[in-house]
Amino acid sequence: MANLQFTINSTLEPEKLMTFITDFESYQSFFPDQIKEVKILDRQNGEIFTEETIVFSTLIKRPFIQKSRHKIISDKELFTQILEGPAKKQYS
């Protein structure tokens, strides 16, 4: 399994930053050219399951759909696992 990590330095309190990061349904407004839609499919046991419609005009010339599982590990760490979609096929 591939592991991709992002690090950011921010003046926001960790809780506020995590609230911003986990506002999945707002991703389209922040990334309008890449994210066509994000749907929350389920919330259970502290996990959020989403379905994202993504457009990469440079790599894949048409929109694709992926499903992901997100779990807040701490106020500073979010774990995301791609359950379905092109990235799952390539990196699992």
List the domain boundaries for the chain. Answer: 16-91
**Nearest one of 70, 55, 63 to 23, comparing CA atoms:** 70
Q: How confident is the model at residue 59 (pLDDT cuts 50, 70, 90)?
A: low
pLDDT of residue 92: 43
pTM above 0.85, yes or no: no
pLDDT in tens, 30-45: 888 889 999 999 999 9
Residue 64 CB coordination number (10 Å) = 15
67 close to 41: Cβ distance less than 8 angstroms: yes
Q: How many helices (H) and strands (E) does the chain have?
A: 3, 4
90 vs 56, more confident: 56
